[in-house]
Structure 1
Amino acid sequence: MKFSEQWLRTWVNPALSSLELSEQLSMAGLEVDSMEPVAEAFNNVVVGEVLECWRHPEADKLQVTKVAIGTDEPAIIVCGAPNCRAGLKVAVATLGAVLPGDFKIKKAKLRGQESNGMLCSNAELGLNDDHDGIIELPSDAPVGMDYRAYLQLDDCTMDVDLTPNRADCLGVRGIAREVGVLNGLAVTEPSIEPVAVTSSSERAIQLLAPAACPRYLGRVIENVDCQARSPMWLTERLRRSGIRSIDPVVDVTNYVLLELGHPMHAFDHDQLHGAIQVRMATPSEKLTLLDGEQVTLQGDVLVIADEHQALAMAGIFGGEGSGVTAATRTIFLESAFFAPAAITGRARRFGLHTDASHRYERGVDPELQRLAMERASALILEICGGQAGPIVEAVAPEYLPQPKVVTLRAARLAKVLGIQVSAQVVEDIFQRLGFNVENTGSGWQVTVPTFRFDIAIEEDLIEEVARIYGYHRIEAAAPAAQLRMIPRHEAQLSASFFKRVLIDRGYQEAITYSFVDPKHQALLFDDTAALTLPFPISLEMSSMRVSLWPGLLSAVAYNQKRQQQSLSFCETGLRFIPDHNAENGVRQQPMLAGVRAGKAFAEHWQEGERAVDFYDIKGDVEALLAATGEGHLYRFVADQHPALHPGQSAAIFRADKRVGYVGAIHPQFEKRLGLNGRTFVFELEFNAIAKRSVPRAQAISKYPMIRRDLAIVVKQQIAAGEIIAAIENVGVNHLVDLNLFDVYQGPGVAEGQRSLALSLTLQRSDRTLEEQEINAAIAAVVEMLATEFGATLRE
């Protein structure tokens, strides 16, 4: 919100410098983003009057003027502006003046004609980019007066960066109200009286979408002169607020928007047909906007229409066909309250962001429409002339926001602020803010005015007391607290525990967005429905992730394009699975995932340049599972996943429950995902691995360990892991270690089979094992292997 400091001080003028006022507003929550002078430095520019004007004898495009500048003798000045004429009041840079850009005015000769100054345009004085002609001042401008003093250019533009909840301050009126409250000063508002109704012209209004627009006011003003010039005081206030003057009607609606914070719009009355209808657009309805662009509307867009067609996108942008032009003689002026929910997101959908939509999305005062109508009507009649018809109002009271009543407890106020604020001070703050307050003994019952959409709960009132009372007056004190041990289950593992395991193995933690590209996600998870965001940040971030893989793979592709050759990323986070039985229709599941790509090791003379393979990432997963102390409960089973290579993928099971996947990204997706070479991933359900077996101390056996080696021959397709798991489950007494130390295929072993050499280590803690116990244990293992796997001892 940009505004002129001088304009603000016509409403309320505290005894503060510009810097102090800026600091005060910022400390009250209205952060002043910048303060800039409204005009660049220049001097010796005065108000002049062109007394005579004749053509330069040596140049057709130049004129020689005699200009009164408040001295005894008028100045002779050569000018090339097309709008220079006798009787015009102008801005004159006299001899010795220094203009922006360190441009000095000296006596000169132009085509043989002496010139003693310069008639200035706005661009030459650094006020705007208008080079079309010299400045035309009002006829009552005092000749000889310093131009900076005449326009009060020793002013600054303040730019307040408002948070979305403070829509009430999107106008000078709201800012002035805050300054008045902060300084205990009365605010002097301009007198806004109803204009005299001098015409019977009016137009009917039909509210066909009352929930979206519960109040709409319209007024017909006849015989307006849209070619009239907006007064300089108005155009200057617009300029200092960052708005360009267009025509008097648009200037007035912009001025009311800045002054009261209420958007308005004017239609060419003669282009309208029948009653004004406030309705939702029909599907695929077309509308050509004021900038000439044609848009196709959806059924959730609120429009202002007549009985033939849509005229404007309500609260956002006007239509070209009904816009006010220089030829317009009768206007239809609108002032409406649109519900924020009916406007939010619509402007961005069409690539628009207007001052009106900015305010309506945040909320305007539902009681301000008539005041804004009267203010705009009075200014239009003053500048353009004409006759005003009666105000026609259509209202659906049941849909209008009602004043909220919020209770504030004195004890709660003291507890949150940490100080005692007297009841009198609290009540005075609320009254100055425009709230109705009633003391209930234990606190206050506060009726919130309609212009404060952001006050809804007790904490909102506490915030108001704090910021008006002054944060600097609240003593800084360290909070008192007791140190207590946080209850923690030793068996529960944290996400940071698993990340440390992976970081120790060369991984780097990544944090990716929960929003992913739906096209990439559909490649990897074609059979999984994903949640689509109604208002995404961008099209590439419009879908909620159903896995951590899309984000990690994007990170790999990004880094590979920047010549990173060895990549290992891990991440913990939520995935979002649509589930009608879950809260809000989505199941949020914590996951742990990782990805590896490129070289297995950094370039080294001894290691070579081996690429990452399936067993590298499988080893990382096994290390994670082993860290839980229950690695033996997990098993890897060859399985297929739509995102993974069918020959290099496995499901990870704990007992009979699948808890994750590991494998290589399917080659057909690598190029489409921007990946360079083979990429390996894993993903585990965090809650399924987050508990560990707590270590239990026991005495170390002092008796000898007995090792027996078995060489068995089995079919080639039988996995060694299945054999090891079977031996562990057979219940061999005193088995303390089991290891596969050799695999052999070749001469001496039949085709289609292989030899597996296993070492079994047995030990008792109370005595030395006897030979018959050892032989019985080994025999049990051999019998089980023969029965379940058809294994035979290798000769």
Structure 2
Amino acid sequence: MRAPLSWLREYVELPASETGRDVAARLISAGLEVETVEQTGAGLKGPLVVGQVLAIEELTGFKKPIRYCQVDVGTAGTRPGEPQNLICGATNFAVGDKVVVVLPGAVLPGGFEVGARQTYGHLSEGMICSERELGMGEDHDGIMILPPEYEPGTDAIELLELVDDVLDIAVTPDRGYCLSMRGLARETATAYGLPLRDPALLDVPAPNPDGYPVQVADPLGCDRFTARTVSGLRPRSASPIWLRRRLQKAGMRPVSLPVDITNYVMLELGQPLHAYDRSRVEGAIGVRRAGSGEKLVTLDGVKRTLDAEDLVITDDRGPIGLAGVMGGANTEIADAAEDPGTGGAGGTTDVVIEAAHFDAVSVARTARRHKLSSEASRRFERGVDPEAASAAAQRAVDLLVLLAGGTAEAGVTEITTPSGPRTIRMPADHPDKVAGVAYGRETVVRRLQQVGCDVYGTTELTVTVPSWRPDLTDPNDLAEETIRLEGYENLPATLPRPLPGHGLTERQRLHRRVGRALAAAGYTEALSYPFVGEAAFDALGLDAGDPRRRTVQLANPLSDEEPGLRTTLLPGLLATLRRNDGRGGHDLALFETGLVFLPTGTETAPDRLPVTARPTERQLASLDAALPEQPRHAAAVLAGARERAGWWGGGRPAGWADAIEAARTVAAEAGAELTVENAQFEPWHPGRCAALHVVLDGERVLVGHAGELHPRALKALGLPERSCAMELDLDLVERAGAGAVRAPRVSTFPVATQDVALVVDASVPAADVESALRAGAGELLESLRLFDVFTGEQLGGGRKSLAYALRFRAPDRTLKAEEASAARDAAVAAAVERTGAALRGA
């Protein structure tokens, strides 16, 4: 909503020193989103005056029409009292027309300085301006023609209101009343503590049976319909400058006087209006649901096939408009230049004004169904004041009588569906509890009254909500109004006080430890949206029956391409990897910990919960039953160099082993031990994929995968070659762990190191050999590390040598050589028995 400050001052008597930026600061403090404050006419400097064309000489011999004009500018010219000589290339004006003349010494918007200059063989003492040159709009097709009543020499800057501040406000869906000057003026008056001159306070005649006939067949879709008739309009009446300028500043294009008036009243009061050419309406106006397959040509010239749920305005022929969205072309206001046979004697002379209140949901669905968003539908979707309909119709009638010479007919049609005022009961201290600030009853009552509520009661308040605030439905809404008007910036920054003995759960502690550990290992946390679509699964190469393709579908997704909740963290992380790689960051290591959503098929629809009281245990159980499983996962992705090259030596690219090590880092924080074995699982490379297991309740459980991604997936996702990834079920790892990680005990006794090289079949996993060595070495084994893998002709085909370094240490004594050797021999014996290994060189 664009709000000119000059228009706002008409309803609120702001101090003269207040600028648009000052008003914006107050409105922002009150909770509105003021995006920009545009200073129209910035840099404009006169003299800029009204001129009357006295003579025109057509110059020939040039590629385009050139006119040498004499223009009367009163006493404002370079030669006071004498006409100014001006060169102009436009041809849409004639002798006697009033135009806008900028004289030498003036500066136009954009820093364009105007001076006298010799051109086309004549001296031009200034220029005649178009609307775009004055910063009034984009019309540059011809010169701006002014109404004849203005005298030559009149200051055009003041006449055209060229200098102003325009506030551009992003109105949120719950504040539809701010899509009007009336609503914004109310907020401004409240912010400054000033009285409001409400433009809706008009004397409106009572309904009577002489009005234009209206039949409402759907009172739920249309609970109020006001119709007024104005006859005898002058078809050639043009919108006055002040009206056109206010529409332009508000971002609307002037069309014709009747249409401009309906738009003006909509901007002023927030009530959309529609004007019908009475000569084009046949019979009574009706409101009903459309018949399936009915057709309507809307004002934009598009022929639309209507849906049975569309609410339409009709006459005896059928639909003549989409209710609350857009009118039909067959009853459009006719321009004075049109054929008299289509719109009266050279244009519309009699109009029927419609001011109605339509159901917000119905209008929103119709607008989306036909992809037809309009200024009217935007307002009806957010909520329009039903009590303002009769005042808006009266305001339009008054302007048509004043500006177009019409006559207001005595008939007034008003059809209403009875409805009582909405009331809310709220404890007087409820806003205090919500905000954690002691406002007190007097402050709460005063703020709610400023909003427009009627408030009664002492300890418990009975609040009657004003008709223009359909968003106020619950005590928390009233608390929000109190808090925002008192100022969000005045809320103290306080930490919540946990109950004694409460704090972070072990799950939360593990989450933090994992994040710190991965960050210490060189990974950067990247949070992604939890939405996913089939395209992501296709790029990963998942089979049609892969359980990860079965997602929880959102009822109202942000994007049709991502309608489901993620079942894996990889799509979001890999998209972040691709984005950063494309921006020049090629050496990347990213991680994320977050929930995934796994539907079980047994979810049920939850109960609709009130906001006035705490949910019952049954209601909470209903909520839990509606949720899918939500395990927490940890994932990491790598690309480029893991160790960079420099003066210290060569670097090293990231590989599958780094992804496995990241998984081990996560498991170590939970006190769990991973076992690693070769696997095939999309989207990993079949020869470089590891399945990660833990022991849980005595059973070996798969908790994730790690390794290098498949080349097909890398190509589909646009990722660097040899990119790697890992993903773990963090909840399962936590359950398999030993709880909180304890600091290792440091022994003061020396370590005994024994190396051993074992020859096994190439198909035997190193993890199996390591497991056997650990089991056989016993309690004296402190650590075990694989430091060499060798294959060659000496070993024979299909054989490999694994060399391990075993560190033995006793906590209470220095080990003897015989003890260390015995432990090593026991470890080798266990490996020989379990894996068929042979001691190399034996």
Q: TM-score, normalised by structure 2?
A: 0.76
Q: Counterpart of 1:256? A: 265
Q: Counterpart of 1:169? A: 178
Match status 1:8 vs 2:26: no
Residue correspondence of structure 1 range 560-571 to structure 2 within 5 A: 560-571=581-592
Match status 1:683 vs 2:721: no
Q: Per-residue deviation at 1:67?
A: 4.6
Residue correspondence of structure 1 range 156-555 to structure 2 within 5 A: 156-181=165-190, 182-187=192-197, 189=199, 191-194=202-205, 201-207=212-218, 213-217=222-226, 226-267=235-276, 276-279=286-289, 290-292=299-301, 314-318=323-327, 320=329, 323-326=332-335, 327=338, 328=343, 329=348, 331=351, 333-344=353-364, 354-384=374-404, 385=406, 403-410=422-429, 413=432, 416=435, 418-419=437-438, 421=440, 423=442, 426-440=444-458, 442-466=459-483, 468=485, 487=503, 493-516=509-532, 518-524=534-540, 525=542, 526=544, 527=546, 528-531=549-552, 537=558, 543-555=564-576
Structure 1 unaligned spans of 5+: none
CA distance in 2 between counterparts of 1:674 and 1:386 reads 70
Question: What's the secondary structure of 2:271's corresponding residue?
Answer: coil
Contact 1:76 1:115 in 2 (8 A): no
Structure 2 unaligned spans of 5+: 604-623
Q: Per-residue deviation at 1:455?
A: 3.0
CA distance in 2 between counterparts of 1:521 and 1:736 reads 44
CA distance in 2 between counterparts of 1:57 and 1:696 reads 97
Equivalenced residue count is: 782
Match status 1:623 vs 2:665: yes
Q: Counterpart of 2:37? A: 34
Contact 1:271 1:322 in 2 (8 A): yes
TM-aligned CA distance change 1:383 to 1:766, over 3 Å: closer
Contact 1:216 1:393 in 2 (8 A): yes
Contact 1:579 1:585 in 2 (8 A): no
User: What letter is aligned with 1:279?
Assistant: R
Q: Per-residue deviation at 1:649?
A: 1.9
Q: Per-residue deviation at 1:769?
A: 9.2
Contact 1:78 1:110 in 2 (8 A): no
Q: Which stretch shows the higher mean deviation, 312-321 or 302-311?
A: 302-311
CA distance in 1 between counterparts of 2:129 and 2:797 reads 102
Question: What's the secondary structure of 1:675's corresponding residue?
Answer: coil
Q: Per-residue deviation at 1:260?
A: 0.2
Residue correspondence of structure 1 range 524-673 to structure 2 within 5 A: 524=540, 525=542, 526=544, 527=546, 528-531=549-552, 537=558, 543-581=564-602, 583=624, 584-604=626-646, 608=650, 611-631=653-673, 634-655=674-695, 656-673=700-717
Q: Per-residue deviation at 1:683?
A: 0.5
Q: Which stretch shows the higher mean deviation, 363-372 or 246-255?
A: 363-372
Give CA-to-partner distance per residue, 1:136-166, whole Å, 9 cap, x none. 5455546665444555656543444444433
Contact 1:202 1:219 in 2 (8 A): no
Question: What's the secondary structure of 2:685's corresponding residue?
Answer: strand
Contact 1:206 1:394 in 2 (8 A): no
Question: What's the secondary structure of 1:11's corresponding residue?
Answer: coil
Q: Per-residue deviation at 1:682?
A: 0.4
TM-aligned CA distance change 1:725 to 1:155, over 3 Å: closer
Question: What's the secondary structure of 1:576's corresponding residue?
Answer: coil
Q: Per-residue deviation at 1:731?
A: 9.7
User: What letter is aligned with 1:646?
Assistant: P
TM-aligned CA distance change 1:733 to 1:237, over 3 Å: closer
Contact 2:275 2:352 in 1 (8 A): yes
TM-aligned CA distance change 1:15 to 1:684, over 3 Å: same
Question: What's the secondary structure of 1:379's corresponding residue?
Answer: helix
Give CA-to-partner distance per residue, 1:720-753, whole Å, 9 cap, x none. 3224335555795765555656666666766545
TM-aligned CA distance change 1:518 to 1:337, over 3 Å: farther
CA distance in 2 between counterparts of 1:62 and 1:481 reads 80
TM-aligned CA distance change 1:776 to 1:121, over 3 Å: closer
Residue correspondence of structure 1 range 18-33 to structure 2 within 5 A: 18-19=18-19, 21-30=23-32, 32=34, 33=36
Q: Counterpart of 2:718? A: 674
Q: Which stretch shows the higher mean deviation, 74-83 or 652-661?
A: 74-83
CA distance in 1 between counterparts of 2:381 and 2:287 reads 21
Residue correspondence of structure 1 range 59-70 to structure 2 within 5 A: 62=67, 67=72, 69=74
User: What letter is aligned with 1:375?
Assistant: R
Question: What's the secondary structure of 2:259's corresponding residue?
Answer: helix
TM-aligned CA distance change 1:740 to 1:482, over 3 Å: closer
Contact 2:428 2:441 in 1 (8 A): no
CA distance in 1 between counterparts of 2:749 and 2:25 reads 80
Q: Per-residue deviation at 1:652?
A: 1.5
What root-mean-square deviation, in Å, do the aligned CA atoms of Structure 1 and Structure 2 show? 5.0
Give CA-to-partner distance per residue, 1:227-274, whole Å, 9 cap, x none. 431233322322332322111222112101111012223455666677
Q: Per-residue deviation at 1:567?
A: 2.5
Q: Per-residue deviation at 1:706?
A: 8.0
Q: Per-residue deviation at 1:605?
A: 7.3
Q: Counterpart of 1:17? A: 17
TM-aligned CA distance change 1:289 to 1:532, over 3 Å: farther
